[in-house]
Amino acid sequence: MTSLPGAASSSTPAAALPPAPAPTRRRWLAQARFETATILRHGEQLLVALVLPTLALLGLALSDVPDLGPGRRVDVATAGVLALAVVSTAFTGQAIATGFDRRHGVLRFLGVSPLGREGLLVGKLGAVGFVVALQLVVLGTIAAFLGWRPAGAGVVPALVTVVLGAAAFLALALLLAGTVRAEGVLALANLAWVLLLGLGVLLPTDRLPDALTTLARLLPSGALGDGLRLSLVSGGWPLTQWLVLLVWAGAASAATARWFRWSD
């Protein structure tokens, strides 16, 4: 009979050391890396995160429809597609992945491992941050080839908008994933993705019918899309949109803390 295998690479045999967690930062980085790799290896996640936004960018930039309003068309289209990328990764991808992780007991298993629940959350934040940054680089590069020229003064406020938008949509994703069964999450997250495209993400809210304009501006989709368009097309600071995103992030986080269930 052989013994439980000790660490092969350590100079001190693992069996001689008492069990202990890896340092906090290492655990968090490991989880962020694991989540990021899972997203990047998952075909459906890549489709939603990169392929569909790229197709949307090409479609909007190279055609005349729909009407995107004032400003260079490629500039307006790119701002909207960057908003779409944030929604895809922070909301759709995370809601579906977390919903099925919850179904399979992954959240419970990792929650009682040295990672813990706070480590799971930090890992998700890190993975979403990395993937969104990757999306900005890839989509920004493609847009640059199509003639995109963002307003220089709007880069910093645009990054703030991206961070606030990602926070609001990630909180909404966790709320959905933690309160609805996995199949329901899949259906609702995909439906929401389609609906939000037209509610301020790709289409500016002032292009919508009057009855929908106010509603869309109060939604995180409208705030994110309009905020990025104001920053990247005009170089403005979208303070109102930031307030809307902050309210959504705060409300969804509070609701998630209250109602999130770790078991399906």
Partner 1 sequence: MCAVSAVEVVGLRRDIGAVRAVDDVSWSADSGAVTAVLGPNGAGKTTTMECLEGLQRPTAGTARVLGTDPWRASAEHRARVGVMLQDGGLPVTTTGERLLHHVARLHAAPADVAGLISRLDLTRVAGRSIRRLSGGERQRVALAAALVGRPEVAFLDEPTAGLDPHARLEVWDLVRETAAAAAVVVTTHSFEEAERIADQVVIMNGGRVVAQGSLDEVRDGRPLEERYFALTAGGRR
Closest to partner 1 by CB, 37 vs 195, is 37
Among 101, 125, 225, 226, binds partner 1 (CB under 8 A): 101
Note whether 260 binds partner 1 by CB under 8 A: no
The two three-digit tokens of residue 238, written as one number = 């979208």
* Degrees to nearest 5, angle at CA 241 with 254 and 199: 90
Residue 104 or 149: which CB sits closer to partner 1? 104
Contact 173, 98 (CB under 8 A): yes
Least CB distance from residue 53 to partner 1, whole Å?
Answer: 21
Q: Pseudo-torsion of CA 39, 58, 193, 255, nearest 10°?
A: 70
Measured CA to CA in angstroms, residue 251 lies from 167, 218, 248, 263 at distances of: 11, 13, 5, 22
**Binds partner 1 by CB under 8 A, chosen from 46, 47, 58, 106:** 106
- Closest separation between CB of residue 179 and partner 1, Å? 17
150, amino acid identity: P
Residue 3's contacts (CB-CB under 8 Å, 6 or more residues apart) are 15
> At its nearest, how many Å lie between partner 1 and the CB of residue 144?
33
**Opening angle at CA 236, ends 231 and 237, nearest 5:** 90
- For partner 1, the closer CB: 137 or 262: 262
For partner 1, the binding residue among 51, 112, 156, 243 (CB under 8 A) is 112
- Residues 34-93 within binding reach of partner 1 (CB under 8 A): 34, 37-38, 41-42
Residue 147 region by backbone torsions, left for phi larger than 0, else alpha for psi between -120 and 50, else beta = left
Query: Which of 51, 59, 63, 104 lies at the binding interface for partner 1 (CB under 8 A)?
Result: 104
Report the chain's C-alpha Rg in angstroms: 21
Residue 15: CB minimum distance to partner 1, A: 7
**Segment contacting partner 1 (CB under 8 A): 31-39, 50-58, 61-69, 74-82?**
31-39
Q: If binding is defined by CB under 8 A, does position 27 make contact with partner 1?
A: yes
In the complex, the smallest distance separating the C-beta of residue 112 from partner 1, rounded to whole angstroms, is: 5
Exposure string for 137-166, b = 16+ CB within 10 A, e = fewer: eebbebbeeeebebbeebeebbebbbbbbb
In terms of Cβ atoms closer than 10 Å to its own Cβ (0-12, 13-18, 19+), residue 10 is: exposed
26 is a site residue for partner 1 (CB under 8 A):
yes
259 binds partner 1 (CB under 8 A): no
Which residue lies nearer to partner 1 by CB, 152 or 263?
263
Task: Give residues in contact with partner 1 (CB under 8 A).
Answer: 1-8, 10, 12, 14-15, 17-24, 26-27, 30-31, 34, 37-38, 41-42, 97, 100-101, 104-106, 108-116, 119, 262-263
